[in-house]
Structure 1
């Protein structure tokens, strides 16, 4: 993920600490908050940039930067990962904590959800322990009003000791007060001390023992009270960051070591060990948040979230949750299949009209036939196929997927599938990356960044290919329609195709579970980690923004990668089909060589070579089959599915061939775009090779078993 830099020229920073200012006078503002509070929406509204927002923790895994200016100051806004606390129990918490502590922001804006403010104050209280320049932005005030929640912002501000501003991030004008308050805070020479959370007497005494020494050693660079508490907590990851920030081994000081030993001894004597200390710290934060909200947040408990609770009883129950998921999946596929046909045909007609014009141009220029063949019939025709077949389904699927995300349904999917993935010793977040794989496996691989555990991230990466991407849909849909639905067309046929496609995909999901469990018991042994998944409120999706975001952030991004690898593939395919050795093309030699092994799988040599040559883009598998069967030198398309079925049957296809081809389409090596993404994400050729080898071996084995079993009935 990342930001476009068209408007401000500032890119996402992976380290989370490097800041790129347009001017030395720019002020750096950290934007923090829990997941699902509209943090990135506030960021987008302030900077005018299209930072993607998500409905699950960890969607923003790097610090994204944008530029914002008022009449008084210019600001570099830094959208840090959404996190529930700064205690660094996860990668998101660690990145957020490190930026607030060591990134030296000029101020921190903490975004809160007005509908669950008490819970969000936990992060606010931890933040004001680190920095005195904090503004609390209570977002989603419109949602609170709709749920009859009344919030006294002035009284909350008085109790916290920091400014508290109410906003509706979707309405940019509501952020004017936030920017004005930010200007005032930057201009102020001294900020009043915010609320200091008081812990138990034993903890306070331990802090008092070491704080004077810590204050002296840090020279005011870090909040000494907060740092003293963290030293008692023995957070090793934080100690390493402190040493790097201060430029010395902070804990080697003998005076500090002695004071720490005395403080820990006193805590131990009081029955407070490391675990008890963490519990008491969290308890104090929760109690402080409750006290602040006691008479400042007023709502009717039995009514304010009644709708969400009713919906969740339906969408997350054991009886109805899974059937609804399957029904929605089938509906999305039906809309994708039905909606993509016409634009796909129009796009193909337009692109192949351009091909005819290019052909005329080459003839006019008296270009040699081989050059025309390579560039037009090879490279351009393959690109035209990939674009016309791939673009319309993605342009429909990704917005539909994003609408479900924006409405708050995808976290319910993760909730429902968390238990099955836990049984496989994997992370429930894998369900979200698996869903992204339906649009594009490369996008699903990138989505695996939301999984904190390296082991579980690898599990998700290695198994993402078992759910078919939209590039494999044309092959699956064509074979389903020709051999099992009928080629007459119509609404009923498209509905039946969607149902059968859903059954095939459910098989892919089951294989995903099985392979995940096998890997977690062998190559990637381990215990599944826990993660916090908040079920956000149901919201009305922003349809316009969803369409723009899904097209530019996902559809065109994935299409661009596919085009890069499809162009050279067109060259290779044309050369294999047109270079003759002894009167026979290289393509025919390859099909003859592969035919005996392919027959064991229930296929033939043409089908297997089509999958091999379709490695850069699965969309061209069917056209390669047609080209090879008809002994033509370039990719072809028949006028109807009836003609295609007739061609396939004349070349020996049966229902066994059809099912074997569908199985291999479902379970075979990832495309080149996905493999390149895996290499980039893992940084390892070993894991990339495994990601290719595992589905290939399983796919070949499954086809051989099925073909052998089917022969008993022929």
Structure 2
């Protein structure tokens, strides 16, 4: 029921109102913080919800909502997206900013990382400019202790003027102490006096000029006829009102000082939200317009240009954070972070970083391939035994053959194939991927790949979405939300399909094993399969770079944007939680979506294989029609038809090929790759066919789930069509090139 990344407008307010309706007596509390500070872990342990937590920036891309209770209050906790600043540049940052500003929460808990408190205070100071109901939660005190960093929580509270709680999010006792302080905060009858950032004197005076008219407009104290005169007086008599009490009559309960600063540093998206929230455009108030214009003229006369204002504001926040941190944070040991830096010198170096990435990728594939074989066989045996029982039941009740065929040999058999082929590799791959994520290594991959992507006029964060695509391309598309620039986000979406998802791995591994390694098995052959698969995926990554460059130079022209990427500290992964989280949050979720699209695909395949026109089935007719074009690509009509019918789920491509070659009306299961290779060779397969099939599997249209996800994320069909055509045309061209060269060399 939380806010999604599309709820960046008044969805924040609507969500707050909806919470009030559902729990009128409960207190609404926003949980804010930078990425990687343990915010979602704290949220999960308080509410008992199993929201996914990640150790790389931008992981939380929607608001999650949960409930907890203390001795005094019930709380609705809203876990808003991690953000470094309320100066929003992305959809996630807008979600965070809008909920804090307009969500009507009773308090805001800002979670900070004790190991890098100074950087986190930037968000704390910005939040305190909006609300005086702020609780600072200094988390990860255990990690700070290991690095010999001590935080004087009382001194920090005295400096900030708001309560400060120290926590280790995984330990319930520390969270209980924090909730006691939250009770005291929401029960407090008198307002707190939070630390006020002192900006450049020019900016302070400009705020002083603009603030009185804004305060009066929010409080409704200036009738329209007197507004202009009030604006004239803003520079003079009314300036003294700026330091009086907050505008308690304001329907928005917004800070006039903060709003004055935001009107000077004009942000259109924030102004649009403000207009919707207040019900009027505050800049249309003549007094406010006159006051803001006078303040801007003052800045201009002082030599501060509009484009310099934001830098000066950020500089003021940074200096204030430094001053506060200096009084509260103490380092008991020099070089407390040396271990992480030594690792980074290796893992992010120009010469070692890329080989280590490829070696880890090959290792993950090797473990996945080796570990998935046995459970996949067991699961297949189990599911096909169930099929036999179902056939027996249908025959016992006298069901028509066509109904038995559609439901059991069509729908159920396809589902059995998908589950037995997908589940074991995903159950291994996703936990391995999450371990890398939890340890803090994935941001290092993004750092390493930032330069190549920048050369392509794309964004380095695309590396993270590309990594997610290895598990599921649809998940990779959703992950593109972390990319701020709309242009670069589209590039990442269109090219995400160049990395093979989990559903394409079985086809690639089977062909590599049959035609290039050998089907005898063993550790050596499995390792060689992993290396060849890694090389194939490396080619897909190079194609990602090439197509990203082409798009950025043509239809998606633009200058690459810069971004802040935090390299979080290396952490020991929580293996138990990783396994549980990966299975339930990723593996079963992706498998469920595959099953939804595979069931109707099974029905269609059965109908095409069992409805005859003349002596041939519809499937055979379609394959024969496609055969001449497929031969140009080094394939045949059956293979191309299998890819087309595999649109709902890539896992069923090989089963369709088997079914068509054997002229059967239902999918068949082979006992070994040796038998499968004999069937393929008997139907004309050569090493050229194998290579072209792998290349086309690597580069062809995304599955239907991914296409629908692109439609949802982009809001139209234009980029869905582009995402369909671009990899497909690349795959066709490359297959034709390989087939043509092989034909000339033959």
**TM-score, length basis structure 2:** 0.93
Quick check: 1:136 aligned with 2:136? yes
Quick check: 1:98 aligned with 2:98? yes
Deviation of 1:236 after TM superposition, in Å, equals 2.7
1:225 to 233, 251, 257: 257
**Secondary structure class of the residue paired with 1:87:** coil
Aligned partners of 1:89, 1:702: CA distance in 2, in Å? 39
Deviation of 1:250 after TM superposition, in Å, equals 0.6
Evaluate the alpha carbon distance shift between residue 676 and residue 93 of structure 1 in structure 2; reply closer, same or farther with a 3 A threshold: closer
After TM superposition, the structure 1 stretch with the greater mean CA deviation from structure 2, 380-389 or 264-273, is: 264-273
The RMSD of aligned alpha carbons is 1.6
Deviation of 1:202 after TM superposition, in Å, equals 2.2
Quick check: 1:492 aligned with 2:488? no
**Where does residue 168 of structure 1 map in the other structure?**
168
Cα deviations by residue, 1:40-93 (Å, 9 ceiling, x for unpaired): 111111111112223333322332211111111111111112111112233333
Aligned partners of 1:446, 1:630: CA distance in 2, in Å? 39
**Secondary structure class of the residue paired with 2:12:** coil
Deviation of 1:446 after TM superposition, in Å, equals 1.4
Deviation of 1:277 after TM superposition, in Å, equals 2.6
**Where does residue 227 of structure 2 map in the other structure?**
none
Aligned partners of 1:199, 1:512: CA distance in 2, in Å? 45
CA contact (8 A) 1:57 1:532 kept: no
CA contact (8 A) 1:433 1:460 kept: yes
In structure 1, runs of 5+ residues without a counterpart are: 4-9
1:400 to 432, 450, 457: 432
**Alignment of structure 1 residues 407-422 onto 2, 5 Å:** 407-422=439-454
**Alignment of structure 1 residues 312-351 onto 2, 5 Å:** 312-351=344-383
**Where does residue 225 of structure 2 map in the other structure?**
none
**Where does residue 582 of structure 1 map in the other structure?**
614
2:558 to 512, 526, 536: 526
Aligned partners of 2:562, 2:331: CA distance in 1, in Å? 32
**Alignment of structure 1 residues 145-544 onto 2, 5 Å:** 145-219=145-219, 220=247, 221-300=253-332, 302-544=334-576
**Secondary structure class of the residue paired with 2:469:** helix
**Where does residue 681 of structure 1 map in the other structure?**
713
**TM-score, length basis structure 1:** 0.97
Quick check: 1:59 aligned with 2:59? yes
Aligned partners of 1:422, 1:295: CA distance in 2, in Å? 39
Evaluate the alpha carbon distance shift between residue 67 and residue 604 of structure 1 in structure 2; reply closer, same or farther with a 3 A threshold: same
**Secondary structure class of the residue paired with 2:481:** helix
Deviation of 1:253 after TM superposition, in Å, equals 2.0
**Where does residue 6 of structure 1 map in the other structure?**
none
Deviation of 1:508 after TM superposition, in Å, equals 0.6
Aligned pairs, number: 707
After TM superposition, the structure 1 stretch with the greater mean CA deviation from structure 2, 573-582 or 132-141, is: 573-582
**Where does residue 7 of structure 1 map in the other structure?**
none
Cα deviations by residue, 1:297-351 (Å, 9 ceiling, x for unpaired): 1115642101110110011000100000000000010111111111111110000
Aligned partners of 1:445, 1:296: CA distance in 2, in Å? 42
Aligned partners of 2:641, 2:295: CA distance in 1, in Å? 71
After TM superposition, the structure 1 stretch with the greater mean CA deviation from structure 2, 61-70 or 343-352, is: 61-70
Evaluate the alpha carbon distance shift between residue 659 and residue 13 of structure 1 in structure 2; reply closer, same or farther with a 3 A threshold: closer
Evaluate the alpha carbon distance shift between residue 677 and residue 88 of structure 1 in structure 2; reply closer, same or farther with a 3 A threshold: closer
CA contact (8 A) 2:148 2:333 kept: no
Cα deviations by residue, 1:390-448 (Å, 9 ceiling, x for unpaired): 11111111111111101000000111111111111111111111111111111111111
CA contact (8 A) 1:185 1:191 kept: no
In structure 2, runs of 5+ residues without a counterpart are: 220-246, 248-252
Quick check: 1:16 aligned with 2:12? yes
Cα deviations by residue, 1:543-574 (Å, 9 ceiling, x for unpaired): 11111211111111111111111111111111
CA contact (8 A) 1:13 1:63 kept: no
